């Protein structure tokens, strides 16, 4: 009986560790918002995540409809906001843009995603 209890507690311990491992950096929200239509060219794309990031290992890119990267390749976390990622943009023409991100949280777990937004005049 004691062994069974120990096994049970050990299993609980593993489950707790597994749960903690789920604390990855998921996209919380973005500006421009996911799937949104914005009037005029945004100056930056900013993403907020659910966990603090290792900014140097993260990637944030913006592509136009022809698949060309249009961002200024200057992605960084905002000062004092280590769960965010920002990349700046040149003036964008009207059209659809795709944001592709790869986030590495401080626990070194990697998450990826992409979404679109549309620029209208």
Q: Which is nearer to Cu ion, 21 or 35 (CB)?
A: 21
Cβ closest to Cu ion, residue 9 vs residue 17: 17
**Residue whose token pair is 């990697």:** 110
Q: Of 47, 46, 49, whose CA–CA distance to 89 is shortest?
A: 46
Interface with Cu ion (CB under 5 A): 23-24, 107, 109
DSSP 3-state of 37: strand
Distance in Å, CB of 74 to Cu ion, minimum: 26
Q: How far from the centroid of its chain's Cα atoms is residue 12's Cα?
A: 31
Planar angle of CA 22, 73, 92, nearest 5 degrees? 105
Closest separation in Å from C-beta 22 to Cu ion: 7
For Cu ion, the nearest residue by Cβ is 109
CB of 53 to Cu ion, least distance (A): 11
> Toward Cu ion, which CB reaches closer, 20 or 79?
20
- The residue among 77 and 117 lying less far from Cu ion, judged by its C-beta, is 77
> What is residue 55's DSSP assignment?
G
Q: Least distance to Cu ion from the beta carbon of 92, Å?
A: 33
**Sign of the CA dihedral with 56 first, then 82, 90, and 102 last:** positive
């Amino acid at each position: 009986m004691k062994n069974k209890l120990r096994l049970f507690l050990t299993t609980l311990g593993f489950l707790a560790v597994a749960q903690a491992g789920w604390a990855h950096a998921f996209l919380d929200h973005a500006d421009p918002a996911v799937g949104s239509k914005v009037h005029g060219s945004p100056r930056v794309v900013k993403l907020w995540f659910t966990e603090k990031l290792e900014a140097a290992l993260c990637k944030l890119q913006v592509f136009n409809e022809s698949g060309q990267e249009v961002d200024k390749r200057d992605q960084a976390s905002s000062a004092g906001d280590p769960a965010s990622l920002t990349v700046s943009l040149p003036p964008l023409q009207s059209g659809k843009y795709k944001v592709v991100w790869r986030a590495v949280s401080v626990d070194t777990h990697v998450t990826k995603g992409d979404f679109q937004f549309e620029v209208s005049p």
